[in-house]
Structure 1
Amino acid sequence: MLEKIRLGRRRQTPFSAWEQVDYFLFLLSIGLTVLGGIMIRSVELNQGLTDWWQHWLMGGIGLVSAIFIARCRYEHLLEWKWVIYIATIIALIAVQIIGTTALGAQRWINIGGFHVQPSEFAKVGIIITLAALLHERTTPTILDVIKILVIAAVPWGLVFIEPNLGTSLVFGAITLGMLYWGNVHPGWLILLVAPLVSVILFTVYEDAGIIWAVLMGFVGWWSLPVRWLTGPLALLANLGAGELGNFFWGLLQDYQKQRLTGFLNPEQDPLGAGYHLIQSRIAIGSGQLHGRGLYQGTQTQLNFIPEQHTDFIFSAIGEELGFIGCLCVLAAFWILCWRIVMIALTAKDTFGSLIAIGVLCMIVFQVFVNIGMNIGLAPVTGIPLPLLSYGRSALLSNFLAIGLVQSVANHRQRIKF
């Protein structure tokens, strides 16, 4: 008995309050942030800018914030879910009223000389709100799903009209991922995204769209109540979505169509919509296996790629660090996401598990889309690469999200002696 007491006393160190946090997750986040600063300095070397040290400074602030959040009990957020949600909505509305405009969009609020982007923090806010709502239902009903979709649609709509298509897509990925983890019927989730697929298929190949619509009719019949009604409704909804897609596609000008499909064949408009993608692929390809070396990339140092310190930071990594550097970045993200999944699986309650999955969906979607647009597999949407791209609001929100995941990890059930 005395030996157990002595062991317990020995464990009371200044770090005891963080004894169950995932330190490897912190190390990966720090490593990616440091690499981001190095690459930002490289792409801005000939411009005399200081974004690289601002990236590190904000990363340091974010790390301290994440460590503090890891110490706090995430369960208390259940009592504040509506306060957080309302604050998120107010901030997004404020952007429309007093926000500043840049690059053709009104997304920032000037606070003391700093441009804050509320939509980045809104992603964390919606994760907390949806996790708090989903944990209350073991098996959500259709009405529960509709309620959650309506709640998520308000901040999504406010972000979409900024306009900020990229971040609005992240909201969709977070919502779908958390609904899946919250035991929502898989068929319902398929039906949620089915109309978008119908729009794409009807635009590209109408026969494939019709087959898809019929398949969705069967999914509706299988997964929804009142089968004789909901099955045909699902079929008609997808047929209608496809026809509407064709109608609105016909209203677009040629240059607008090129912006949406330019990533499929950027050579059609090499000086316009395809310019970013062509230059990015040249940069990544020229890096070959080992890269040209830091500060040695021709595309990077001669500023051939616009916005390379933000949306196209991966192209700089590909050119200067090569295929090996790209693989290391992908491996770091894979391990980071794997650690988050492990935390979600070992969380002591559903609320904590849903928070971890929401953060996972946010990171995974952004990584896939950003790298996809850098290598020409996705359209340019303005989604930053987490922890690597320059963007003070985005970086801070990423660390806040990681802090929430660490809080879930830190407050798992401890082993009792």
Structure 2
Amino acid sequence: MEWIKDGNLDFLNKRKVEAKEEAQKSVASIIAAVKSDGDEALKNYTKQFDGIDLDSIRVTEEAMHEAASRVPEQVLKAIKQAASNIRAFHEKQVPKSWTETVKEGVVLGQKVTALDSVGVYVPGGTACYPSSVLMGAIPALVAGVKRVVLVSPPQKNGWIADGVLAAALEIGVHEIDQVGGAQAIAALAYGTESIKPVDKIVGPGNLYVMLAKKHVFGDVAIDSLAGPSEIAVVADETADASWIAADLLSQAEHDRLSMPILVTTSEAFGIKVEKEVEKQLQELPRVEIASASVYKQGKIILAADGHEAAAVINRIAPEHLELATRDPHEIFDLIHNAGAIFLGKYSSEPVGDYFAGPNHIIPTNGSARYASPLGVESFIKHSSIIEYSDEALQANGQAIAAFARFEGLEGHARAVEKRMKGAVIHG
């Protein structure tokens, strides 16, 4: 891991993944083909990229139940409990419509409405991520979205992973299509014979999925343009070096470009963690991926004190932040840029990834400076409510017309003056 002892955080300027022009052209071509050829394009690309000849794009209810029956009982119980925790957390986020009479004859307010339809992308192929099903779909369901569509690429056996289908069955998502990559994003955005278009697309994916989301944005809404996973841990000599090393590796195993960062006030402790990382790396099944992440992206940043450590974190604006110090709440009060914050030595990042309840679809690449984790508000929209009585318009009409006329919008002014008793229409 690279040591930084002089406060130089120039590496932050390089963490964004720039897509090559070839990848961008490929995604544009895929999207155009899906818009033109619909299901035929989806099947062709699934054959080309996944090696699967699809008989049907839609997953049947029977197949979902069969898949769930193959999932170990212990895992099904974990999915059920996690779903309950996630739902309970997100139910606390539900905003309410409101109106109020601000003065005589003037009623203002806000109407909260759920989106009509949402597409949830779940990575697959060689992986199985039922947690992504729960995190992407549950807040949409809690928000009141009527139609939630799940897309995920098939595995080598020709079907979406059993755990993914079991999670969908548990939470009541039944519109599931076995297609992935940029072609799945195109189908959700523009529709095919089998897949009706949606209003918003959420969920993590590879570079091609991210580029496709970027391409269709504007025609549909998206959650974010997610980059590689990040974890920053602030720890001092009171922490267990082996635990901290394990937490850093929990994100390093995601991707070669994942960024594990330790910020510490103790150089001796940093050395202990570095040695533990090197030791534990060899025990991981995904050692090759994790090693690339650790040695190319990993950082150990030495800070003078807790205030400097917090300042470093606020510049990094990490996706995941663990505070494993003697008094984590003291540093917590200084943090204002982080996607998810894990307090105390027992709050390991995977607790949030799978089980606690807050969403694990979190802003990356420093976007925690201005963005928030996926939540219920990601799936709703607000409409303003304005109601003026005759008396209220008479009392305020001259001011409104003057304002409009000052901006050179005569039509606006006249629209108000037409309703005013005794008003002289200018011009």
TM-score, scaled to structure 1? 0.29
TM-score by length of 2: 0.28
Structure showing the higher strand proportion among its residues: 2
Higher gyration radius (CA): 2
- Greater share of residues in helix: 1
